Amino acid sequence: MRKLIDANKIDTDKIVEVVNNIIGYDFSVEPDSEAPILRPDGRRYQLFRFSGSFYIDEFDLADYPFHALSLPLLFETQPLSFSLDGPTPALLVPEPGQKGLLGAYATIKGYREVGVSVDPMIHHYATDFGHGGRQDYALSELRVYYRTPFLTAFLQWVMPLLIVMAVVFLAPSLEGSLGDLRIAIPSTALLTLVVMQQTYQAELPPLPYLTFLDKIYLYCYLVSIALFILFVWGSNAYTAADAASLERVKRRVARADLGFQVIAVAGLVVVALLAWHV
């Protein structure tokens, strides 16, 4: 390996690059020693410390706020001469049986650490960079896995929504004669839902798909608008009813209210299950 590096006149800090580093000027790398240290087994060793901003490649927020996250560090051989299809290929592999991959402070606020993995990989570039031939390079991946704590995420993001929806679900229990009071509830709930959804969406990147929480919110919007329509109908039915038909209308409105409550609550459970599994 040393002959290969010497023959190609490769600086030791140019052997490996971190491919998911995204801000070049923000990346610092410091060798621990000026030159590689010769070990008794004949191998040369050099330690580098680095810091920078790194891109998270696998970013699936479909289960948000109960999502998992993995933070990768992708190390790849940099010199063109180390291409695996070239005359002097070089591999980059993790030291077997490594322990202590994570330091004491490798924790992310709001996430629970799940595990860590190291894997030797090959990066197949889809371009030849104008050089001709295939461009495959050896890559070593260090990936740390995190997950949001279920209870915390539930209490932080789902519980407030359930409380607002509890008000919506209980609203039909108000006497049908209290039309003015009843009709104000769905519109207030809708406004609250919009503000709450904007709050959590501010924490997310623009996504081309709906998250778990998005689907629940969508259902809550539909329930709120359906409740508004129900109350409009109920209020008008009350207003239009004469003394003789008032009792009959009252029973009809009460029946519709109860039916709505049962269907809306059952629907929330079904939608939550479907949103989680589909």
* Nearest approach, Cβ of residue 174 and other proteins (Å): 19
Distance, CA of 213 to CA of 64 (rounded, Å): 6
Q: Which is nearer to other proteins, 136 or 265 (CB)?
A: 136
For the bound state, the minimum distance from the C-beta of residue 180 to other proteins, rounded and expressed in Å, comes to 15
Q: Nearest distance from residue 126's CB to other proteins, in Å?
A: 4
CB of 61 closer than 8 Å to CB of 206: no
What angle, 0 to 180 degrees and rounded to 10, lies between the N-to-C axes of helices 179-201 and 212-240?
170
Report the DSSP beta bridge partners of residue 89.
none
Considering the complex, what minimum distance in angstroms separates the CB of residue 251 from other proteins?
15
| Residue closer to other proteins, measured from CB, 124 or 251 | 124
Residue among 5 and 275 whose Cβ is closer to other proteins: 5
Q: Is 52 exposed, middle or buried (0-12, 13-18, 19+ CB in 10 A)?
A: middle
Structure tokens at 104: 């004491």
Q: Which is nearer to other proteins, 39 or 277 (CB)?
A: 39
Task: Answer for the pair 164, 197: CB distance below 8 angstroms, yes or no.
Answer: no
